[in-house]
Amino acid sequence: MLHQLTVAELTDRLDRRECSSTEALEACLGQMARVEGQLHSFLSWDEADARRQAAVADAAIASGAYRVERPLLGVPIALKDVFCQQGQPCGCGSRILQGFVSPYDATVVARLKAAGAVVFGRLNMDEFAMGSSTENSAYGPTLNPWDTSRIPGGSSGGCAAAVSANECFAALGSDTGGSIRQPAALCGIVGLKPTYGLVSRYGLVAFASSLDQVGPFTKDIRDSALVLQSIAGHDLHDSTSLPAPVPDYRTALTEGSLKGVRLGLPKEYQVGGMDPEVTAAFESALKQLTSLGAELVEVSLPHTEYAAATYYIIAPAEASANLSRFDGVRYGLRVDGSSPEEMNSRTRGAGFGPEVKRRIILGTYVLSSGYYDAFYVRAQKVRTLIRQDFLQAFEQVDAIVTPTTPTPAFRLGEKSEDPLQMYLSDIFTISCNLAGICGVSVPCGLTRSPRLPMGLQILAPPFGESTLFRVAHAYEQSTPWHRERSPLS
């Protein structure tokens, strides 16, 4: 079945004229018709526009030479509902943006289109990317294709579930504290969080501007490299975009030996409360990496214990500022009142969900007079220490390896009433965003009963994506886990 192919496999078939982009798209739409009723990965999709894009791709393929300039030509790729795509709704999983249609393309969307991708579909997410389970969406939760009684992770749960269930060949998500890597791990696929500044954020609706980063969900590491190659690079529209060269990431995809590669094991990540099967899968992954020639070195990240507290000061503070633009005046939901203040209050009261309100209140508090220095400024200082910890560790090792999550996917509603336990789902992923480094999650095992995926997280220095791909690809190709498919795939 076409929808079960990877991006690389599909482009190979397209090149050999063994199938068309239209056929690949129809395979995805057919799969959506079969499984969407069980998953709720998508919030919306425009079949007519997708078919138009696929027809254009097929005409380009028929014209001859194209693949070097347009590496994703004809590949259906979906978007988290946080990216602007001209002429399509962008709701961020929130009622406050109901009815809003994007007037322009986000830079990453424009680059996908320039690479020839068929960009279709809006994927479900925690409202404004605030959550770890996709239960905070105003339009209902997405479910895990491995076990529909469980969550797919978050906030990009729709992306992870859709790729895992073969509803699309790849998806773009955003990662503020683990929102790509965590759901990728829980759904058994690859999730990449690039270095901050490598991929443009222009047209990404902001949650926490200094933490947000755009990255791909794919079925394997080769696809991750292919998509990143197409979306990375400097963008004058984004003041945080860095003018760093973009190497050919595909050259890093060497199989076999990791001889000479030093991998760090942070002693602070050996925490209590880990699921025993996650611990066993991680230890097995370490043995596999050493069998490939890698050397394991214990490293210290001494400020790790402050990462969660630091994140949950900085992220809500930035969110409270970013979300102030949603006021019912210019676009989206509007609930009338007798004065502008009453209209604004009613609109936000009806438009924002409980988790978003919680974080806005927390963020406004830590930025308020008398608390700004005690909380926000101090958190920024600790953030600098966390980044320095990583940079010092990377002087000793090429990459760092950890579990992606402390547990497999938990049951729907299991942690909804306990925000602290929900926040701790991202305990291994948060520091990567605070430090601005890159990280990837790759499948590293399945629990016994029920069969649920687990992920191995690999972290590398800023702009160390080639190192990530080398280590992850060698591990992936020497293990069977990336070939395992969910029951709904």
Structure tokens at 163: 């790729």
Can you tell me the distance from the alpha carbon of 402 to that of 169, in angstroms, rounded to the nearest whole number? Answer: 27
Exposed/middle/buried for 422, CB within 10 Å: 0-12, 13-18, 19+? buried
Catalytic residue among 20, 21, 80, 466: 80
Contact 223, 170 (CB under 8 A): yes
- What is the rounded CA–CA span in Å between residue 85 and residue 120? 9
Distance, in Å, from the CA atom of 309 to the CA atom of 288, rounded to the nearest integer, reads 34
Residue 44, strand partner residues: 122
Residue 95, SS3? helix
The active-site residue, picked from 20, 133, 137, 155, is 155
Tell me the three state secondary structure of residue 184. helix
User: Residues with Cβ < 8 Å from 204, sequence gap 6 or more?
Assistant: 82, 83, 84, 106, 108, 174, 212, 214
Identify whether 179 is a catalytic site residue.
yes
Please say if 133 is a catalytic residue.
no
Give the pairing type, strands 453-460 and 438-446: antiparallel
Among candidate residues 57, 51, 29, the one with its CA nearest the CA of residue 115:
57
Report helix angle 21-39 to 7-15, nearest 10. Answer: 150
Q: 3-state DSSP: the chain helix, strand, coil percent, rounded to 5?
A: 45, 15, 40
- Count Cβ atoms below 10 Å from residue 238 Cβ, excluding itself: 17
In contact, 167 and 78? CB cutoff 8 Å? yes
d(C-alpha 161, C-alpha 56), whole Å: 28
The catalytic residues are 80, 155, 179
